[in-house]
């Protein structure tokens, strides 16, 4: 069976989806003039011309003149969807792309493809050049399938960003090969060509990254790719049939190293504070908070998971034969079952659960720091935990070394996840965390510390040899000096006092319990 070409795949996909086909915008970037814009339109194969909902570029012309030229362009080429937009000024390579991508977001498109203008040797500016339409060079208008090659991995393969790789007039030098390999290693990627070129973005992912904080120069592309990768979204590389336009670009390795230093809290920058749809991820390392917490739960136990989030622990507890009741404020459709029962409750409100003192284990996994009325939840734990049961509670260590360093350097930034999650209302040190548990009527029977979540920092597998080595080494430091090096604290506690009315002889003169 003959394999379909990218163009054939997209046309088949369009026929299958019909009116449900995504709205795709095409940005003609780095357009040195109107002839280049027209030449680029001419290179889009005729069968693909119904795919884009809009094709647009920016020019430094009065709005009235752009309307006249747009009408003339439509008459000459038949491109009714082409839009000539007015640029206020030239912001540079990355700055011009910020303006153009914001436009795609505001117009509500689903995807935007960025195609460099067709005009070999043209200056790389988005708004300079000829202000008149002119006959284009026929040799530069041979149709090519670049747009189709970008669309296939996104629309059919589910990629949030499609980066392009292209043949080269000559092999890359040693410095470029080394930079590519180091960048891929630092980011745990496998791209073969980091040079700027044609791209396609899914706009639902673009909305979740602060790309307006990126550089205005050529480093913009590398920074935006890293931002979308940090969301956990898929990045695809599409091979092109033609060489990319030559654009002077900064080394992507600089952006990769800055991103990793940000994750380690050694150098912070707002561009890396992306908006992950699910703020918390299950950590598979046996030394992580999830791994060690699960190790404290006996097989077959009846468990109350307060603040269970989207159900991070549910499947692992089920594997241990536990019967689990989950409680969180998320709607049930956002919570991963299995649960014996799930209750949608805001833990900061007065609440009651239809259970007696019947749970072997109550879990508060990274929850206590989110609560303004912690006493309500701790009272609920005492009401529903068996007298010989266990409370397992964890939280982050705000006094860890990198926050101390950050404060010494005048930095203290909240973000979308981690210890300084912007939804946290209370931060804890080792002593204040233990004090909270004791004041709530519990006796601490075990103290556990966790290392930094290296599997998340380096976005790789928890069983990778390098990650296992870092986990064990750092965990040894955290055990030796918990208040300085522990990333999180886990406490196992038991009830030290019963609720009023549950102790024998209380209240005085009553029947007791």
Alpha helical stretches, state H, 107-160: 146-151
Q: What is the DSSP letter of 185?
A: H
Instruction: For residues 261 and 300, state if they share a domain.
Output: no
Sign of CA dihedral 246, 251, 252, 255: negative
Instruction: For residues 294 and 267, state if they share a domain.
Output: no
Q: Please say whether the beta carbons of 203 and 105 come within 8 A.
A: yes
Q: Please say whether the beta carbons of 239 and 165 come within 8 A.
A: yes
- Could you tell me the residue range of the domain that residue 259 belongs to? 6-272
Of the three residues 224, 247, 272, the one that is the final residue of a domain is 272
Angle 220-230/174-187 helices, nearest 10 degrees?
Answer: 30
CA atoms within 13 A on the CB side of 337: 9
Q: For the chain, which ranges sit under pLDDT 70?
A: 1-2, 119-142, 249, 276-280, 499-513
Q: Report the 10 Å Cβ neighbour count for 142.
A: 11
- Structure tokens belonging to residue 390: 């266990």
The pLDDT tens digits for 241-266 are 888 877 776 789 999 999 998 887 77
**Cα separation values, 209 from 139, 163, 268, Å:** 39, 17, 16
Q: What is the pLDDT of residue 110?
A: 96
- Cα(391)–Cα(53) distance, integer angstroms: 56
Helix, strand or coil, per DSSP, at residue 163: strand
Please count the helices (runs of H) and the strands (runs of E) in the chain: 17, 14
Strands 323-328 and 235-239, bridge-based pairing: unpaired
The pLDDT tens digits for 125-174 are 333 444 454 444 444 456 788 999 999 999 999 999 999 998 888 888 89
Evaluate whether residue 241 is within a structural domain: yes
Side by side, the strands of the sheet bearing 323-328 are 341-344, 323-328, 302-306, 359-365, 385-396, 488-495, 442-450
CA atoms within 13 A on the CB side of 260: 17
Nearest C-alpha neighbor of 382 from the set 411, 400, 405, 359: 359
- Cα(307)–Cα(114) distance, integer angstroms: 43
Burial of 274 (0-12, 13-18, 19+ CB in 10 A): buried
Instruction: For residues 227 and 87, state if they share a domain.
Output: yes
Of the three residues 244, 272, 300, the one that is the final residue of a domain is 272
Q: Report the 10 Å Cβ neighbour count for 193.
A: 19
Instruction: For residues 339 and 251, state if they share a domain.
Output: no
Tally of structural domains, the chain: 2
Instruction: For residues 66 and 177, state if they share a domain.
Output: yes
3-class SS letters over 343-408: EECCCCCCCCCCCCCCEEEEEEECCHHHCCCHHHHHHHHHHHEEEEEEEEEEEECCCCHHHHHHHH
Assign residue 103 the CATH number of its domain.
3.90.550.10
Instruction: For residues 253 and 399, state if they share a domain.
Output: no
End-to-end CA distance of the chain: 78
Evaluate whether residue 307 is within a structural domain: yes
Q: Looking up tokens 């040195």, which residue turns up? A: 32
Distance of CA 375 to the CA centre of its chain: 33
Instruction: For residues 298 and 242, state if they share a domain.
Output: no
**Cα separation values, 372 from 99, 125, 348, 388, 427, Å:** 41, 52, 6, 28, 11
Instruction: For residues 224 and 364, state if they share a domain.
Output: no
Evaluate whether residue 280 is within a structural domain: no
Q: Establish whether the linkage from the previous residue to 494 is cis, with ω within 30° of 0.
A: no
> Which residues neighbour 269 within 8 Å (Cβ) at sequence distance 6 or greater?
213, 258, 262
Q: Report the 10 Å Cβ neighbour count for 28.
A: 24
Q: What is the pLDDT of residue 134?
A: 46
- Cα(179)–Cα(254) distance, integer angstroms: 10
Helix, strand or coil, per DSSP, at residue 419: coil
Instruction: For residues 397 and 423, state if they share a domain.
Output: yes
Instruction: For residues 178 and 324, state if they share a domain.
Output: no
Evaluate whether residue 113 is within a structural domain: yes
Q: Looking up tokens 């602060």, which residue turns up? A: 210
**Cα separation values, 16 from 24, 44, 122, 134, 201, Å:** 16, 21, 39, 38, 22
Evaluate whether residue 213 is within a structural domain: yes
Evaluate whether residue 511 is within a structural domain: no
Sign of CA dihedral 336, 340, 342, 348: negative
Evaluate whether residue 223 is within a structural domain: yes
Of the three residues 211, 241, 272, the one that is the final residue of a domain is 272
Assign residue 342 the CATH number of its domain.
3.40.50.150
Helix, strand or coil, per DSSP, at residue 371: coil
- Cα(472)–Cα(140) distance, integer angstroms: 59
Instruction: For residues 136 and 188, state if they share a domain.
Output: yes
Q: Where are the beta strands (DSSP E) in 43-95?
A: 52-59, 82-86
Nearest C-alpha neighbor of 266 from the set 67, 142, 412, 402: 402
Nearest C-alpha neighbor of 397 from the set 434, 428, 418: 428
3-state SS of the chain: helix, strand, coil percent to 5?
35, 20, 45
Evaluate whether residue 513 is within a structural domain: no
Instruction: For residues 249 and 312, state if they share a domain.
Output: no
Q: Please say whether the beta carbons of 195 and 124 come within 8 A.
A: no
Q: What is the pLDDT of residue 259?
A: 93
Instruction: For 411, list phi and psi in degrees, rounded to 5.
Output: -120, 140
């Amino acid at each position: 069976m003959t394999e379909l070409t990218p163009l054939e795949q997209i046309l088949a996909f369009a026929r299958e989806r019909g009116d449900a086909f995504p709205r795709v915008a095409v940005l003609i970037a780095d357009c040195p003039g109107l002839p280049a814009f027209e030449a680029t339109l001419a290179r889009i194969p005729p069968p693909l011309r119904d795919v884009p909902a809009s094709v647009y570029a920016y020019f430094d012309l009065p709005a009235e003149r752009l309307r006249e030229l747009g009408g003339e362009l439509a008459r000459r080429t038949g491109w009714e969807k082409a839009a000539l937009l007015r640029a206020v000024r030239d912001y540079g390579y990355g700055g011009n792309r910020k303006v153009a991508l914001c436009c795609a977001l505001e117009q509500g498109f689903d995807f935007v493809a960025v195609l460099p203008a067709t005009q070999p040797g043209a200056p790389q500016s988005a708004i300079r050049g000829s202000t008149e339409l002119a006959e284009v060079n026929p040799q530069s208008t041979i149709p090519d399938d670049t747009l189709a090659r970008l669309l296939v991995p996104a629309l059919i393969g589910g990629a949030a960003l499609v980066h392009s790789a292209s043949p080269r007039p000559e092999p890359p030098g040693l410095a470029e090969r080394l930079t590519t390999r180091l960048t891929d290693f630092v980011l745990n990627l496998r791209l073969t060509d980091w040079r700027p070129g044609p791209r396609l973005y899914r706009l639902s992912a673009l909305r979740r990254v602060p790309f307006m904080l990126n550089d205005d120069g050529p480093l913009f592309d590398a920074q935006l790719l890293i931002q979308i990768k940090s969301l956990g979204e898929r990045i695809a590389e599409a091979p092109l049939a033609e060489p990319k336009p030559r654009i002077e670009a900064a080394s992507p390795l600089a952006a990769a190293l800055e991103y990793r230093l940000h994750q380690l809290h050694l150098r912070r920058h707002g561009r890396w504070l992306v908006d992950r749809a699910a703020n918390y991820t299950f950590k598979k390392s046996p030394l992580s908070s999830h791994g060690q917490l699960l190790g404290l739960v006996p097989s077959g136990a009846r468990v109350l998971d307060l603040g269970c989030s989207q159900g991070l622990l549910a499947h692992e507890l089920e594997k241990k034969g536990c019967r689990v009741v989950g409680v969180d404020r998320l709607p049930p459709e956002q919570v991963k079952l299995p649960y014996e029962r799930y209750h949608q409750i805001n833990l900061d409100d007065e609440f009651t659960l239809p259970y007696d003192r019947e749970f072997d284990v109550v879990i508060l996994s990274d929850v206590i720091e989110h609560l303004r009325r912690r006493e309500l939840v701790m009272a609920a734990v005492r009401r529903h935990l068996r007298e010989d049961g266990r409370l397992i509670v964890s939280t982050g260590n705000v006094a860890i070394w990198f926050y101390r360093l950050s404060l010494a350097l005048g930095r203290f930034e909240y973000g979308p996840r981690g210890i300084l999650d912007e939804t946290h209302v209370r931060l804890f040190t080792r002593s204040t965390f233990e004090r909270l548990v004791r004041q709530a009527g519990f006796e601490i029977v075990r103290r556990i510390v966790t290392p930094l979540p290296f599997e998340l920092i380096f976005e790789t597998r928890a069983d990778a040899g390098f990650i296992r080595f870092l986990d064990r080494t750092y965990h040894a430091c955290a055990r030796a000096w918990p208040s300085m090096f522990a990333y999180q604290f886990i406490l196992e506690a038991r009830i030290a006092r019963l609720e009023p009315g549950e102790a024998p002889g209380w209240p005085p003169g009553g029947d007791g319990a």
